[in-house]
Structure 1
């Protein structure tokens, strides 16, 4: 009986923690995390509004989705950000841009695959072949929120639909 009560108490505690961990905020927008494998972690830079780690079966290490929010009137327009993301590849990547309809709000989604040049903005870069970048530009009340995720093509392909749902989740009804 004692084991059963302990197990029930742990289940309730764990469920409570998971319920609180299913949303994150960035730029006055609330995002709903996908059902499993997506975890909020502390940010490693003041430039980041939030960071998620994503566990993907078969991937060597967790992927990272980084949220950026620069404030009112900051961050540049949609096309400038798309061009910047595509410019992070060694040569022009295979890419597509689509508009997701989030209950009347247009969310821009970029998918690019090629040799990604990984590294800090002004630091040395490491070429990562067969990498995919998923980028979302989400209109906010005063400025957009940007989400960027990069990783091995096969791992990113497994979570693309969840990324789309995450990107449109602030506008879900």
Structure 2
């Protein structure tokens, strides 16, 4: 009986959202990002996920996630152009897209917003086409490497989180 409890306990932990770290702050590659309600930090799954925030948004079936990715080594994760091309390639056809350069106190953050039919799923696995989805993704310089911050979800839900997302990615450089 006790041997069944341990796997059950582990399974329950992995299925629940676990808040970790200091509430309202997420540190990745030495940069501290600040967030407020409706965002909450949840357990990250995946090899290169350095942190995950989730927000419940009216109109979305499930919480919308913002994922922070960090890859080891100088230039890990590729350069700006390769990532922008890859993100736009996650859509069927050519999405409606916009690229901006945000100034974070002298640090340039690249922000890409794209809307269309997004192919949702793991990098090497089966994809589910999601119509009227928006991707917001930022490339945040962090020393010799970059932090990649990605938000995807239904167009209306992401539109409601646009200002919050921008505030979060810029917060690492706020004085």
Gaps of 5+ in 1: 1-16
2:97 counterpart SS class:
strand
Separation in 2, partners of 1:146, 1:71: 12
- Greater per-residue helix proportion: 1
Larger Rg: 1
**Between Structure 1 and Structure 2, how many residues are aligned?**
155
Root mean square deviation of aligned Cα = 1.4
1:157 counterpart SS class:
helix
- Equivalent of 1:97 in 99, 118, 129: 99
Query: 1:32-111 residue pairs with structure 2 within 5 A?
Result: 32-33=34-35, 35-73=36-74, 74-111=76-113
Deviation of residue 58 (structure 1)?
2.6
The alignment's TM-score, normalised by the length of structure 1, stands at 0.86
2:158 counterpart SS class:
helix
In structure 2, what is the equivalent of residue 167 of structure 1? 169
In structure 1, what is the equivalent of residue 135 of structure 2? 133
Deviating 4+ runs (over 3 angstroms)? none
In structure 2, what is the equivalent of residue 148 of structure 1? 150
Separation in 1, partners of 2:58, 2:127: 27
Provide Cα deviations, 1:61-120, integer angstroms capped at 9, x if missing partner.
100111101023111111110000000001110001000111111111000000000011
Alignment check: 8 A CA contact 1:27 1:71 kept: no
Separation in 2, partners of 1:47, 1:140: 15
Alignment check: 8 A CA contact 1:71 1:142 kept: no
